[in-house]
Amino acid sequence: MGLSVTAAIFAVCLIIVVNVKISEGLIDYKDALSKSIVFLEAQRSGRLPPNNRVPWRGHSGLQDGALANVNLVGGYYDAGDNVKYGLPMAFTITTLSWGAFFYRAELEKAGELGNVRSAIRWGTDYFLKASSKKNRLWVQVGDPVADHQCWMRPENMETPRTLYKIDESTPGTEIAAETAAAMAASSLVFRNTDHAYARRLLNKAKLLFEFAVNHKGTYDGECPFYCSFSGYNDELLWAASWLYIATKKEKYFHYIHEQAISASVDEFSWDLKYAGVQVLLSGLYFSGEEPFQGYKKQADNFVCSVLPDSPYSQIYISPGGLIHIRDGANTQYVTSTAYLLSVYSDLLTRYKQSVTCGDKVFQPDHLMAFAKRQMDYLLGENPVGISYMVGFGPKSPRQAHHRGSSVPPMSPLSVISCPISFMQWFNKDTPNANVLTGAIVGGPDRYDNFDDKRWDSSKLEPTTYINSLAVGVLAKLANNHNA
């Protein structure tokens, strides 16, 4: 009995030592940062550039838009399918631009600023095409029902490239406003390197915002895959905030304070933007713009609802320590929360502020420590010892729920039966033919359980917006915790 107790104590101590070493910097955040950007490149649609870093990807969707005699070649596939959805694509570009703008120095030091700018431009070039006509925005390419009935890599897809748009008679305020936010945020990224391009993006952002405001209505065309359950008020506030930061024009200031609606929430996602707005505008309050004080209070409310040791905590934390809001790409809430806490901790530090939750006061380093624990969990410091970023660390998912990764390269002339495609590649319990480097998959369930099985899309499907929100915080961690 004594020997068993001694062995148990030794095992516990060993686990503690290993965890301490990991937390002290054995995780290579710079490598994780680099790989997270490579995944975004694997999601590109269109004619790939000569410097394409994903050897198993090829040109795809080269006739996108032809059905309406418009050029919609380019952009991004959102996840493991071959549809180009406007709302999540725009959110990906907005958040990636925020990271590039806020963590510019850290990305430059890591040698990744150029790659991030290229990733942003791949999206904004597409949005310029999609919004070429005033009060019209092409918001989706591809029939999602037909697409989900065929397991085929985009280079060989034969499913319909159906086109969907919003206009004055069929408005879509959420998508128009989110695209406006993406264009305004990205204009800040290019302002000092390509002023003409930045001006073009900003002008388009202004027009899209006016379209969103003047023709209000929820567009349900992306349902059931991207239904806006939160409504469009958050997107309007989000877009107005980015436009105000980019222009400092009174019209956007007045919109934010006189027309916009805000609310205290406990998540930040492609559907719900309030927490992002509140952290973003808190920076203006800290820098002396007193009217934004209310957003600091709401940002504090977000922090108080998320931190597990807050008396107002509302978020479920798994036994292993991971945020779990809902099944189905749950890691999007992990990276989004980590990103907001990272940015907010920097703002609080810069202006010597803190967060009060009832009888507890949290200093900025406490917020960052929790954000770091979330990212460390994703990168391998978790009960099952697996990195949820493909190709990172000694053990990572091998069966990402992703067509391009799981289907081997083949001749462009190959003809594949859709029913047979599932038998050949989807249902086989074998590693993917191509490594989807850098993809952060959906992650474990609420009890930290994870099965690396391609057909479990809730755990194995990656998305662009999971990674776009990881880039900024990984850049910060790489700067502060890697030599």
Active site residues: 401
Q: Per residue in 42-63, is it b (16+ CB within 10 Å) or e — as a string?
A: bbbbbebeeeeebebbbebbee
Distance between CA 283 and CA 285 in Å, rounded? 5
Query: What secondary structure does DSSP assign to 8-75, as a single string?
Result: HHHHHHHHHHHHHHIIIIIS-HHHHHHHHHHHHHHTB-BS--TT-S-TT---B-TTTTGGGT------
DSSP state of 136: E
Name the phi and psi angles at 119, rounded to 5.
-65, -40
Query: What secondary structure does DSSP assign to 190-259, as a single string?
Result: HTTT-HHHHHHHHHHHHHHHHHHHHS-----TTTTTS--TT-SHHHHHHHHHHHHHHH--HHHHHIIIII
Instruction: Choose among 446, 127, 453: nearest CA to 316.
Output: 446
Residue type at position 217: G
List the structure tokens of 274. Answer: 């309030």
Query: What secondary structure does DSSP assign to 252-300, as a single string?
Result: HHHIIIII------S---SS--HHHHHHHHHHHHHTT-GGGHHHHHHHH
Q: Which residues contact 282 (CB under 8 A, 6 or more apart)?
A: 292, 295, 296, 299, 344, 347
Instruction: Choose among 462, 468, 474, 162: nearest CA to 330.
Output: 462
Cα separations (Å) of 98 from 27, 183, 217, 226, 233? 24, 11, 27, 22, 20
Residue 197's CB is within 10 A of a number of other CB atoms, namely 18
